[in-house]
Amino acid sequence: MTRSKMAFLFYVIIGLALVGLATQLITSPGSFIKGIFITIGFGVAIFAFIYFVLLRKRAPSNDMKKYKKAVQQSKAKYKDRGNSTKVTPKKQPNLIKKKRTKRTSNHLRVIEGNKTKGKDRATF
């Protein structure tokens, strides 16, 4: 029951606000537009203060520094792989296939954990 009362009160307040805006727009549109611009100006000023003073001067976290360093290293490593514009002539396929060796990536590493062996489902 309280929810319907709150909804009714909310709709009454919104309706009164709309009537007030319409009345002000009809009686004095100049002051209405001036009020809108002043409100927007205060909003922009508050946002600029919060953004430039409080948020911008925060130091980036240590994780972000490590991530940016890793991105720079990766770009330096792979910078000329995608930019090749040479047209390579087609090679004839070799009849004898060479055994390819498995290469490991230098930027990947395995983190050892304390995993136990798989659960024995027969013991349930």
Q: Please answer whether residues 107 and 74 qualify as being in contact, where contact means their C-beta atoms are separated by less than 8 angstroms.
A: yes
Segment 7-32, tens digit of pLDDT: 999 999 999 999 999 999 999 999 99
pTM of the complete model beyond 0.85:
no
pLDDT of 43: 96
CA distance 94 to 91: 9
pLDDT of 30: 93
Q: Exposed/middle/buried for 114, CB within 10 Å: 0-12, 13-18, 19+?
A: exposed
pLDDT of 117: 60
CA distance 33 to 124: 74
Segment 72-110, tens digit of pLDDT: 999 888 886 655 555 565 666 565 666 666 666 677 777
- The CA dihedral of 119, 122, 123, 124, to the nearest 10 degrees, is 90
Residue carrying the six token digits 């290293």: 73
